[in-house]
Amino acid sequence: MIKRDDIQNILNGQGLKVWGVVSESKPKSLDRFKKWVSDGLYGALGYLADERAIKREDLKNYYPDIKSTLVIAFDYSHIARSAKKFYESSESNGLKIANYVVGFKGRDYHYEVRDKLQAIGEELQKLDPNLEFKFSLDTQPILERDFAYQSGLGWYGKNSMLINRHIGSYFIIGSLLLNKEVEAPNDKFETDHCGQCTRCADACPTDAIDLEKRTIVADKCISTFTIEHFKDIQAPEGFDKARGEFFGCDICQDVCPWNKRLERKLESDSEAFKESGRQFIDFFLTRPVDEIINDLEAMSNREYRRQFKGTPLERTGRVGMLKNLRYYLD
């Protein structure tokens, strides 16, 4: 069995600190997920409700040889703290972009996290040549937050995000599904620390958070509207009360006391957001909105893809981005 200290040393080499291990292959929140699907709350996220929903019922449906899952938090909270300083500065034009866009050196996090998972897996194989692995992100048919919860990484916040007491909620979950058992860290199973707080739901301008079920009504969510809809469509009611979000949304995370606590506790690097997000800042976050729209209208779809290739903004495309920005012309 690979020991926890060896795992931690490997993760340290990748700048990662928060991780857990789970041996269970079935998600604990499956009934909750099925209810969310049956209620139609997935909206435009149809890929969560198709035949892949059945595969999510057991990790063995994806990797039959699984014995344990190494779940890792890829933290980008430093970017969230740095971004706030930028948005409060005179450089900002008032538009806001989701922090994860900048959180992984400006790359699409799928590429960045996948590369690190591959490197971690290969280092583990040096310790045990008989170990085999498959990596998992949100692109695989897996309820990744469930297994992160089971491994002790955090608890489900009322906005459905997983919250960790040490790094808040600004992290991406990545996992390695292993054919061998590995030693888990000492952390205990995390309990709910949201208490009576409802700041996330109170702050959401489109009322997308169902507090009772701790789920998101996808078609009301600003992130769904600005990322998943690639063509012109009516914005969710309340979008006009947003703070300038034009790709993704962090409102419910920004107001979370567990993220605020980190903001107060840790000194923010005011340059981190600028260094990693220069491409997005120069094009979207400092110029007048009408100028940005004019440039996008004059640009071909191919040119847009070329300019933002390998970044999260490639997904929505030029037409989808124009749809988002036109709401801020007035």
Q: Please, what is the angle between helix 77-87 and helix 257-265, to 10°?
A: 80
SS (H, E, C) the chain: CECHHHHHHHHHCCCCCCEEEECCCCCCCHHHHHHHHHCCCCCCCHHHCCCHHHHCCCHHHCCCCCCEEEEEEEECHHHHHHHHHHHCCCCCCCCEECHHHHHCCCCCHHHHHHHHHHHHHHHHHHHCCCCCEEEECCCCCCCHHHHHHHCCCCEECCCCCEEECCCECCEEEEEEEECCCECCCCCCCCCCCCCCCCHHHHHCCCCCEECCCCEECHHHCHHHHHHHCCCCCCCCCCHHHCCCEEECCCHHHHCCHHHHHHHHHCCCCCCHHHHHHHHHHHHHHCCCHHHHHHHHHHCCHHHHHHHCCCCCHHHHHHHHHHHHHHHHCC
- Please compute the mean of the pLDDT values over residues 28-40 and round it to a whole number: 83
Catalytic residue among 58, 115, 138, 269: 138
Residue 131: φ, ψ to 5°: -75, 135
Report pLDDT for 299: 97
Is 188's pLDDT higher than 70? no
Rounded average pLDDT over 140-148: 93
Two tokens, residue 142: 């897996």
Domain ranges of the chain: 4-77+107-178, 199-328
Q: 30-44, 87-101, 117-131, 231-245 — which is least confidently predicted?
A: 30-44
Chain position carrying tokens 């890829």: 74
pLDDT band at 144 (very low <50, low <70, confident <90, very high): very high
> At CA 87, angle to CA 81 and CA 88, rounded to 5?
95
Quickly state the pLDDT bin for 268 (edges 50, 70, 90).
low
Q: Is 69 left (phi over 0), alpha (psi -120 to 50) or beta?
A: beta
What is the pLDDT, as a whole number, of residue 258? 95
pLDDT on residue 186: 76
pLDDT for res 265: 59
The overall average pLDDT reported for the chain is 92
Average pLDDT over residues 119-131: 98
d(CA 239, CA 219): 12
Q: How many CB atoms lie within 10 A of CB 61?
A: 15
- Residue 264: predicted pLDDT: 66
Query: Which pLDDT belongs to residue 266?
Result: 53
- Answer yes or no: 138 catalytic: yes
- What's the pLDDT score for residue 270? 67
